[in-house]
Amino acid sequence: MKDVYLADYARSAFTRAHPRKPEVDGWADTRGDALLAQVIDGLLARCGMPPERVEDLSAGCALPVKEQWSFGGRYPLWLSQRLGPGGRGCATRQLDQQCGSGLAALRSGIREIQAGGVEVAIAGGYENMSRVPMGPSLFKEGVLTAPAALQEAPWLELEVALNMGLTAERLAKAADIERDTMDAFALESHRRAARAEAEGHFTGERLALANAAGERVAQDANVRPDTSLERLAGLDPVFVEGGRVTAGNSSPLTSGATAALLMSASALDDHGLSPLARIIDIADMGVAPERMGAGAAAAAELALARSGLNVDQVDVWEINEAFAAVPLHAIGKLGLDPERVNVWGGALALGHPLGATGVRLAGTLARILAQRSGRYGCATACVGGGQGIAVILERI
């Protein structure tokens, strides 16, 4: 198989989404596919990549319904000022692997290049959680449904499997992760993200873009550098009375888009580009749906085994903070040094625009490897429904 390289990565600012208060969301007037198109344009402009050389576009979206349905990925292509006119030969697809959708898009482009089908691909992801909210309201509207046969299946607790907060409660209880431990992890995520912002680490990946009203949206809106353990401790459990999972140790509703440029070695040579990292492997697998958060550690174990690497060889980890319980479980299960995990903060602080997150994890990981002069990194995420997906990168 051909080697695949992560040539570059960019994202929008991540904004605070609120379906009932759209005025708080800088992207509330902007469709997710239109935002992805802007990120793609910014990425291609920065790299100087001719649009006609892009042969493949995979767009991840966890809720590809209503306006987030993209006609098989054609809408982001056509909305792009560069790909629309100049990249009409580009094949597209839209992928839903829930919170792993961005990494699934990355995997699609990786496999195409590995197999020799294309030389240049873009993997992107988007979610506007103000305009298309999470599952519960969509179930009430009848937009999303669950088969009656599954509702009656004796082996499946569907009411838990469909509620990510309840799965986080199950994981925290099974792994003996206490509420105060999760709150402390959330506080550290905000502190690390605020420090990374102050040190300018996000400026290399975050694009200043205009929303539909022509307003410039340039800053991440979810980071709370002034939060404290006392504030976090004062929040009530959200999903279970007397439970451990709160709004403070869960990722906030977020809108945003991300894109990564994937290239073969020959394409890099043709365009004189230096890549961020080489893709070693990407792997996904299923886990018990009622404990879907365990998927992040399980997928990482599989990816490491397939790569012939052990935990001690991995210099940096990006573990998606859908809930604090997820990285805490992975740290305990894999025996990780917490100082190597989410060193610029994670989704608890930055936010989790579902379909976009996976590309952010991989792109940020590559940039941290460069900043720290590390060699190997692993980005992994749990996936709603009981899955995990992980990618291994090597700094060039």
Catalytic residue annotation? 99, 352, 382
Whole-angstrom Cα distance, residue 345 to residue 125?
20
Whole-angstrom Cα distance, residue 123 to residue 8?
11
Whole-angstrom Cα distance, residue 384 to residue 296?
11
Whole-angstrom Cα distance, residue 90 to residue 85?
11
- Phi first, then psi, for residue 234 (nearest 5°) are -80, -5
Are 129 and 30 contacting, i.e. CB atoms less than 8 angstroms apart?
A: no
Whole-angstrom Cα distance, residue 204 to residue 182?
30
Beta strand ranges found along 61-174 (DSSP E): 91-95, 120-128
Which whole-number Å values give the CA distances from 211 to 16, 233, 243, 340, in the listed order?
14, 36, 38, 35
Whole-angstrom Cα distance, residue 100 to residue 377?
18
Please count the other Cβ atoms lying within 10 Å of the Cβ belonging to residue 364.
28
Q: Where do we find the tokens 């958060």?
A: 293
- Indicate left, alpha or beta for 386 from its phi (over 0: left) and psi (-120 to 50: alpha): left
DSSP string, 322-342: SBTHHHHHHHHHHT--GGGBS
Tokens of 231: 């504030």
Distance of CA 85 to the CA centre of its chain: 29
